[in-house]
Structure 1
Amino acid sequence: MRVIVFVKATVDSEKGTPPSIDMLEAMGKFNDELVKAGIMQPGVGDGLKPSSHGKRIAFEGPGRTVIDGPFAETRELVAGFWLWDVKDMDEAVAWVKRCPNPMPGPSEIEIRPLYEMADFEAWGIHV
């Protein structure tokens, strides 16, 4: 089962506050453990710059509108991500519980499964 693991943004991450050296070292160690366990391939997880550096493209029929960051609702934004291959959601939760707190204060991590070919086949869609 493939999952994407989102580190949710905070006021600090949206300000562009750099992580401490201790945090970088702890995350590096955690990422090494994920790779050694076969949960993550090297290079498929990283931090994101604040939303002020980003853009959104809104779709309305054939029209496209570009929206410049920063974006509102910091708690709904993503500050980083990993792409993992786990046996089930319980294994993903267990790994996240081992993760160092990715922010200086309170923070959240969200786990979302990716669609697999079997999901489409269950809907009767053969790609």
Structure 2
Amino acid sequence: MSLRALTPMLRTPDLAASVAFYTQALDFRLSAGDVAGGWVSLARDGVELMLSGLNAHEGDVAPAFTGSLYLRTDDVDGWWHRLRERARVCYPIEDFAYGMREFAIYDNNGYLLQFGQPIAAFDPV
């Protein structure tokens, strides 16, 4: 018995705006579903993300999530230059003592997206 993937499902009050953010700012593509149906699946580089409208069964009234989505990349500086003016920044690009170079932005709903890349010369000792 094994797990094969983890695909986040983020809820949004404006599905069309969220699809626009992820397809225009991050170059995801629509792989299934549609805005009119209230659910979409997006993909890019083997990374998948699902978006849906708010869930009336659970009483959603606004987006809510206490964690973050951490996206590992091979060009964190390129992503920083692309996104720093397109999204609200949580923290700018920085090298961290735990061996990652990263930054974080918020999507159009306020979900935290972190982008990170290992620092090549990092020595954990």
Alignment TM class, shorter chain as reference: 0.3 to 0.5
Larger strand percent: 2
- Structure number with larger C-alpha Rg: 1
For normalisation by structure 2, the TM-score amounts to: 0.33
Structure number with higher relative contact order (C-alpha < 8 Å, ≥ 6 residues apart): 1
